[in-house]
Amino acid sequence: MTKMPRILFAGLLSTTMLTTAAFAAVVPAGTQLAEDQTFTYRVLDEHSSVDPQVVEDVSGSEIVRDLFEGLYNQDADGNLVPGVALSHTSNDDKTVFTFKLRPDAKWSNGDPVTAGDFVYAWQRLVDPELASPYQWFGEIMSIENVAEIIAGEKPITDLGVTAVDDTTLEVRLTSSLPHFPLMTTHASTFPSPEAVIAEFGADWTKPENIVSNGAYVLTEHKPNERSVRERNPMYWDNANTVIDKVVALVINDENVAFQRYEAGELDRTEIPSGQYPELKVSHPDEATVFPRLCSYYYNVNLRENGPEELKDARVRQALSLAIDRDIIVEKVTAGGQFPAYTFTPEATAGFSVPDVEAANMTQAERDAAAKALMAEAGYPDGFDAQLIYNTSEGHKKIAIAVSQMWKQKLGVNVELANQEWKTFLETRGNGDFDIARAGWCGDYNEASTFLDLVDSGSGYNDSAYNNPMVDDLLMQAKSADDRGPIYTKIEQIIADEVPIIPIYHYAGNYMLDTDLGGWPVNNVEQNWYSKDLYKIAE
């Protein structure tokens, strides 16, 4: 009963309409389209699932974005464009969002997509019985009662999401979240077909059973070999979709994948590591590099059990300064990466890189400053420490380069230790290290997806950094209208205290066949949709 006035309140106070022009494949005038509109691409590994509420990996989410459609999609630049939702409104303090859904959205079996399908899917996401690994996404969406439902204290029907009618979806949040609509492009928020799931249980995602509401339907799945999706004639924007068939081939080895790309079997594959400089010259129209929302960094253990030396901020600053990031990205990784002096990548929306002192110095100046800081901290001759990383040729090369720089410039003797992935995660999670390799990719295009990691309460804060001022600023940012300056301030504090040592920001690097059009290189999250692509006649 208490819900009604809030809806009215929300509707009256603010209205956000999105432009409805920029979706579906935008084929430039004069482009001759190919006869065969099949897009074939390589994936590194078999996807975990194509169930929107269960999927947890990138390659699975890519398929789910084609098969299902959520409230919003992203355009080629990462801006929100309407999906099943046409528009939304919110109340003044951004705790109630009301989405207006398009009436013509249909499931692949012809049934209409309704607000109730979203309610079902979101309840399903947080249902302790389904036990989705992405229940936490429901938590960061801050939907009313989500924590209690996950803890099993309240029934899933208490989740703060209501179908007001078939085309009106209301979401109530426990705290103000201005960027809430951005989160609805995430696969775990996509609708799922209740009747089909009830009928087939866990087998509902098999090609013979699945019903979906996106531009494509799953027609074939050969685990560890290939999965195929084909045009969904029931999709509301089917008329503007160009690609007929999408084939994802599982190819574990990047060099084999590259050979198969060269043989014409693939339209897209990753550039094999270290080969970008050559391929840029030999295949200038195909080797493509663009910024990603990901950071490569080292965690410094600030716990009680961590080394005494590393508890001194000056020592951490010195270690950070002594890393010649230009050498790392140009000579070691050589894949178009960007040197990092802040945690949040520059490409993040609404974020401006603070004027970090180290970024403006020459490497010689940094080295001199690093030496001075070490002397000041009382370690002019260095000390011993251990650096752990998960077993990989790439991480090893970087660790060797960094440890050499530390040894030569600061006399710091670093012992390198690699560990198998799960062992590494366990060791790092337990805080059983001095310095540990880490990487992080944003869940959505907003600086908090990175900076939340330095919150003392974050489960991902592997350095165990604890600064009440940072926690406070993060709290302020959650409800502030202009968050940019707050994030800049936090980055400035990180640059001074160095709980983490940023090394580089990732680059996406693909070989993209010249007959493939519409690839969203400017979408830093690389949320791509096959419906926006097209094949050009050769």
Partner 1 sequence: MLRYIARRLLVAVPTLLVLIIIAFFLMQTAPGGPFTSERPLPPQVLANIEARYGLDQPLLKQLWTYLVNIVTQLDFGPSYQYKDRSVNDIIAAGFPVTLTYGSISFLVASLVGIGLGVLAAIRHNTLLDYIAVGATFSAQALPNFVMAPILIFVFTLQLGWLPGGGWNDGQWQYLVMPVIALSTSYMASIARITRASMLEVMNSNFIRTARAKGLPDSAIIWRHALKPTLMPVVSYLGPAFVGMITGSVIIDIYFSTGGIGRGYVNSALNRDYSVMLGLTILYGALTILFNLVVDVIYAWLDPKIRY
CB 391 → partner 1: shortest distance, Å? 10
**φ/ψ of residue 506, rounded to 5:** -65, 155
Whole-angstrom distance, CA of residue 121 vs CA of residue 84: 14
Nearest residue (CB) to partner 1, 186 versus 366: 186
Nearer to partner 1, 9 or 421 (CB): 421
- Which residue's CB is nearer to partner 1, number 139 or number 471? 139
- Please report how close the Cβ of residue 11 comes to partner 1 at its closest, in angstroms: 34
Q: Which among 509, 518, 511 is positioned nearest to 536, based on CA atoms?
A: 518
Compute the least distance from the CB of residue 283 to partner 1, in Å: 14
Strands (E), 25-160: 38-43, 72-74, 80-82, 85-90, 96-101
Shorter beta-carbon distance to partner 1: residue 99 or 424? 424
Least Å distance between CB 207 and partner 1? 12
The three-class DSSP label of residue 419 is strand
Q: Which is nearer to partner 1, 263 or 281 (CB)?
A: 263
Q: How far is the CB of 452 from partner 1 (least distance, A)?
A: 11
How many residues make up the chain in this entry? Answer: 538
Please say whether the beta carbons of 387 and 306 come within 8 A: no
DSSP state for residue 381 in the 8-state scheme:
T
The DSSP H or E segment spanning 486 is helix 484-497
**What is the C-alpha to C-alpha distance for residues 510 and 271, in angstroms, rounded to an integer?**
5
Nearest approach in angstroms of CB 225 to partner 1 is 4
Q: Which is nearer to partner 1, 79 or 136 (CB)?
A: 136
Query: Which DSSP symbol is given to 165?
Result: E
Residue among 139 and 346 whose Cβ is closer to partner 1: 139
CB 93 within 8 A of CB 243: no
Residue 503: both structure tokens together: 């090394």
- Taking the C-alpha atoms of residue 311 and residue 275, their distance in angstroms, rounded to an integer, is 39
Of 425 and 537, CB closest to partner 1: 425
Contact positions vs partner 1 (CB under 8 A): 45-46, 48-51, 54, 56, 128-131, 133, 135-136, 139, 147, 150-152, 202-206, 222-226, 249-253, 255-256, 259-260, 262-263, 265, 420-423, 425-427, 429, 439, 459-460
162 vs 509: CA distance, rounded Å: 42
Closest contact distance (angstroms) between CB of 178 and partner 1 is 23
- Answer whether 311's CB lies under 8 Å from 489's CB: no
For the bound state, the minimum distance from the C-beta of residue 498 to partner 1, rounded and expressed in Å, comes to 22
